[in-house]
């Protein structure tokens, strides 16, 4: 149940939520990525009915060529009045981070556009959500603006989030752009209500009330509402997961909003996209959720394409070029699922009366933790070892030899989201509001600092040592990143929450005929 009364939640959401991007955008392609930014993080998949992996079918494009031969993508966008086709020139940016990672927000915008592509490839004809969006002419003549809204719930393993998007379309033939977003979240996630589905649905109801207060009443009947659950519900027994979804669907049907077919569903594990930068410096994306983790980048070398396991590559067309995207989601390797694996809780048939112990926890600790609807007793090693080295040995068993390691990413730079960001902010590696740039070795340095001082542990999270050690092992021994790999940690782009929800909402509006 929520701890805040609905009125407080709504006022807080309205007070914090509305982020305006501006009504006049000079750049057509910037508008294109504005509404699609962040469309691929999390466990995204089919956005038409039943979801499935993005890469289950062979490419429909017979003349697919290597990304290495594609022209480098420029970071400067042509003005709206001059638009004909995207330019393809490359600009270096910045003496430090710019050598390895694009620093301009235009670069981030395009990365997020491809992110949405990577996460919304559909199950039949491998259509993409942007199909039909990039028009032959993006230079409007008449201006007759219309406003429409979309509501997307992201039901993750650690919380439920609502995104209320406002789109503006100047003419029926012009690309809509995102004007603003209202965002709010509640904890715990729906999976915590596995045995109380009605209570779980009530958390959705309170967030839905926020949407009613945010959208003009005249638009309610044509504003679609959808909930997509990610890895947290995939870990539940199917019967319990479906009971939760049924209760949420009943909430939606009683609301004044438009409820499309398959308005409530569990998504499969497709994921993020990226921007390929200057020369061989690849910029990709990493996302670490509670139950799963994802990696996505645009390969630059034929060797990577040849050595990649089947199902890890998908194809799409953009700007008259065909791209091969490396993208994979690892279920069970999210931060909270990894805690269970480290404790050895996944290897036992029952938990009654058993306390799971770890060298990653304070020696004196005795506590309980609920995840996936199951209660676990856990504590520190009362007689055994404690500290970074024995802790790292434990988390190493979780990841070593279980993830594919593309060789080219060792010299690449990546954007990192979700728990990568949260744990870095929790330990002051980055500013909580602004984010920052880290090297992989910075996570290891902080893990050593925290783990080797567990006796004086005062953090609000007893899992901090384990989490930092796991992130280090996941990056170094799981994915194979070098110690000096640069990670750009960020939560928002232009005040819009990064995530798959935006691209999913836009496609939903198109499929329902709400957006021309």
Distances in whole angstroms, Cα of residue 127 to Cα of each of 59, 151, 414: 11, 22, 27
Quote the pLDDT of residue 103.
39
CATH of the domain at 21: 3.30.420.40
Q: Within this chain, do residues 501 and 412 fall inside the same structural domain, yes or no?
A: no
Is residue 70 in a domain?
Answer: no
pTM: 0.54
pLDDT tens digits, residue range 481-497?
A: 999 999 988 875 545 55
Q: Within this chain, do residues 176 and 156 fall inside the same structural domain, yes or no?
A: yes
Query: Catalytic residue positions?
Result: 272
Q: Within this chain, do residues 311 and 458 fall inside the same structural domain, yes or no?
A: yes
Structure letter (DSSP) for residue 143: -
Q: Within this chain, do residues 147 and 208 fall inside the same structural domain, yes or no?
A: yes
CATH of the domain at 433: 3.30.420.150
Q: Within this chain, do residues 263 and 234 fall inside the same structural domain, yes or no?
A: yes
Q: Within this chain, do residues 504 and 391 fall inside the same structural domain, yes or no?
A: no
Is residue 275 in a domain?
Answer: no
Number of domains, the chain: 2
Structure letter (DSSP) for residue 449: H
Quote the pLDDT of residue 263.
87
Q: Within this chain, do residues 228 and 291 fall inside the same structural domain, yes or no?
A: no
Distances in whole angstroms, Cα of residue 74 to Cα of each of 87, 269, 277, 290, 412: 6, 30, 9, 35, 18
Is residue 68 in a domain?
Answer: no
Model confidence band, residue 477 (pLDDT cutoffs 50, 70, 90): very high
Strand extents, DSSP E, 56-138: none
DSSP class per residue in 249-290? HHHHHHSSSB--TT-EEE--SB-----B-STT-BEEEEEE-S
Which residues, including other chains, have CB under 8 Å from residue 264's CB and lie 6 or more apart?
A: 226, 227, 229, 245, 246, 248, 249, 252
Asked if residue 283 has pLDDT above 80, the reply is no
Is residue 351 in a domain?
Answer: no
Q: Within this chain, do residues 206 and 128 fall inside the same structural domain, yes or no?
A: yes
Give the structural domain span for 164: 6-63+108-270+494-511
Q: Within this chain, do residues 133 and 258 fall inside the same structural domain, yes or no?
A: yes
Q: Within this chain, do residues 228 and 287 fall inside the same structural domain, yes or no?
A: no
Is residue 372 in a domain?
Answer: no
Is residue 299 in a domain?
Answer: yes
Q: Give the mean pLDDT of 510-516.
A: 58
Is residue 377 in a domain?
Answer: no
Is residue 74 in a domain?
Answer: no
Q: Within this chain, do residues 251 and 314 fall inside the same structural domain, yes or no?
A: no
Model confidence band, residue 354 (pLDDT cutoffs 50, 70, 90): confident
Q: Within this chain, do residues 478 and 505 fall inside the same structural domain, yes or no?
A: no
* Lowest mean pLDDT, pick from 40-49, 93-102, 253-262, 386-395: 40-49
- The most confident of 24-28, 146-150, 264-268, 475-479, by mean pLDDT: 475-479
Quote the pLDDT of residue 327.
85
> Which parts are annotated binding residues for ATP?
290-294
Q: Give the mean pLDDT of 40-59.
A: 30
Mean pLDDT of all residues belonging to the chain? 69
For residues 461 and 365, the answer to whether their CB atoms sit within 8 Å is no
Quote the pLDDT of residue 310.
83
């Amino acid at each position: 149940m929520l701890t805040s009364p609905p009125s407080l939640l709504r006022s807080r959401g309205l007070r914090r939520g509305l982020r305006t991007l501006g009504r006049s955008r000079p750049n057509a392609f910037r508008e294109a990525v504005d509404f699609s930014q962040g469309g691929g993080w999390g466990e995204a998949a089919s956005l038409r009915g039943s979801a499935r992996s993005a890469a289950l079918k062979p490419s429909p494009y017979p003349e697919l060529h290597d990304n290495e031969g594609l022209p480098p993508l420029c970071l400067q966008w042509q003005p709206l009045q001059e638009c004909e086709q995207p330019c393809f020139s490359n600009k270096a940016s910045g003496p430090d981070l710019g050598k390895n990672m694009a620093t301009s927000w235009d670069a981030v915008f395009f990365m997020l556009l491809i992110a949405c592509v990577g996460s919304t490839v559909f199950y039949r004809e491998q259509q993409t959500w942007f199909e039909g969006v990039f028009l032959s002419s993006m230079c409007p003549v008449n201006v007759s603006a219309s406003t429409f809204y979309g509501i997307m719930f992201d039901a993750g393993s650690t919380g439920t989030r609502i995104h209320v998007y406002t789109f503006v379309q100047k003419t029926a033939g012009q690309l809509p752009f995102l004007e603003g977003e209202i965002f709010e979240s509640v904890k715990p996630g729906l999976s915590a209500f596995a045995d109380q589905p009605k209570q779980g649905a009530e958390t959705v109801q309170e967030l839905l009330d926020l949407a009613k207060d945010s959208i003009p009443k005249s638009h309610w009947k044509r504003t679609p509402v959808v909930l997509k659950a990610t890895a947290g519900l995939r870990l539940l027994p199917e019967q319990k997961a479906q009971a939760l979804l049924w209760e949420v669907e009943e909430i939606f049907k009683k609301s004044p909003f438009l409820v499309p077919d398959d308005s409530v569903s569990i998504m499969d594990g497709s994921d993020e996209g990226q921007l390929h930068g200057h020369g061989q410096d690849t910029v990709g994306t990493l996302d670490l959720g509670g139950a799963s983790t994802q990696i996505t980048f645009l390969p630059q070398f034929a060797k990577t394409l040849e050595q990649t396991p089947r199902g890890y590559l998908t194809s799409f067309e953009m700007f008259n070029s065909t791209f091969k995207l490396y993208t994979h989601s690892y279920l069970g390797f999210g931060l909270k699922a990894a805690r269970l694996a480290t404790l050895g809780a996944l290897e036992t048939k029952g938990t009654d009366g058993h306390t799971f112990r770890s060298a990653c926890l304070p020696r004196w600790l005795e506590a309980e933790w609920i995840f996936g609807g199951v209660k676990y007793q856990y504590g520190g090693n009362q007689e055994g070892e404690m500290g970074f080295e024995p802790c790292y040995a434990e988390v190493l068993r979780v990841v070593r030899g279980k993830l594919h390691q593309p060789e080219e990413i060792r010299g690449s730079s990546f954007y990192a989201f979700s728990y990568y960001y949260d744990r870095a902010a929790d330990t002051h590696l980055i500013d909580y509001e602004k984010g920052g740039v880290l090297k992989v070795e910075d996570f290891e340095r902080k893990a050593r600092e925290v783990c080797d001082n567990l006796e004086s542990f005062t953090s609000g999270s007893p899992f901090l040592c384990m989490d930092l050690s796991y992130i280090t092992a996941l990056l170094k021994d799981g994915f194979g990143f070098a110690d000096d790999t640069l990670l750009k940690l960020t939560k928002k782009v232009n005040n819009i929450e990064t995530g798959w929800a935006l691209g999913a909402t836009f496609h939903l509006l198109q499929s329902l005929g709400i957006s021309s």
